[in-house]
Amino acid sequence: MPKEIFIVTNRALTNGRPLVSVCKEAIAAEVNAIILREKDLSPAELYALGTQISDICAGTKTKLIINSSVETAIACKADGIHLGKGSLPLKAVREMVPDKIIGVSVHSTAEAVQAQTDGADYILAGHIFHTRSKHGLPGKGPDFIVSIKSAVTLPVIAIGGINPKNANIVVRADADGIAVMSLAMEADDITGTIKALRESII
């Protein structure tokens, strides 16, 4: 199966470009999912932004996944919710939104196994390579993906310092897809960046 590409948002990295414009380009480039992760926004602000992006995603190949906020995911009719440290328990979220995609960030094989046990639809595993967002913490390397894949059957999306030059390493470790934040948010040419990523993981 084709490997998937997820984009994680951070409007602080877009060099002044509106996040909606950045997401529109990513959607046009047919990324598989956008995880809307803007932790500093109020519920009302996140809803307004999520609704705009949800409207653009409608009828495309791109799914909108809201980070952590179940109420926003419901209100803006997003496809799913992504849970991380400090989010509601997966089982509780599943009871509230049985029909939505639920993903979980994991940083160990044990967490991946627990996420599968609790009913996650996919795992976001990282960080794989050095990344500025995890300053001072070395990447776990591709062997981390190998370890998780040997323990779970869920789709595993790798994140952390991934770019067109090293994405193939992650794929060779059997990741089901990759996720990027700064690479996409900072890109002058998002379409070209997504194309380069896609070509590197074929």
Q: pLDDT tens, position by position, for the chain (202 residues)?
A: 789 999 999 999 999 999 999 999 999 999 999 999 999 999 999 999 999 999 999 999 999 999 999 999 999 999 999 999 999 999 999 999 999 999 999 999 999 999 999 999 999 999 999 887 767 788 999 999 999 999 999 999 999 999 999 999 999 999 999 999 999 999 999 999 999 999 999 8
Query: Do the bridges between strand 156-159 and strand 63-67 make them parallel or antiparallel, or are there none, so unpaired?
Result: unpaired
What are the two backbone dihedrals, phi and then psi, of residue 64, each rounded to the nearest 5 degrees?
Answer: -100, 125
pLDDT at residue 134 in the model: 66
Predicted structure pTM score: 0.97
pLDDT at residue 138 in the model: 85
Residue 169 parent element (H or E):
helix 167-172
Residue ranges making up the domain that contains 36:
4-200
pLDDT at residue 131 in the model: 80
Contact indicator for 106, 127 with CB cutoff of 8 Å: no
What are the two backbone dihedrals, phi and then psi, of residue 187, each rounded to the nearest 5 degrees?
Answer: -70, 135
Count of structural domains, the chain? 1
Q: What is the CATH number of the domain that holds 134?
A: 3.20.20.70
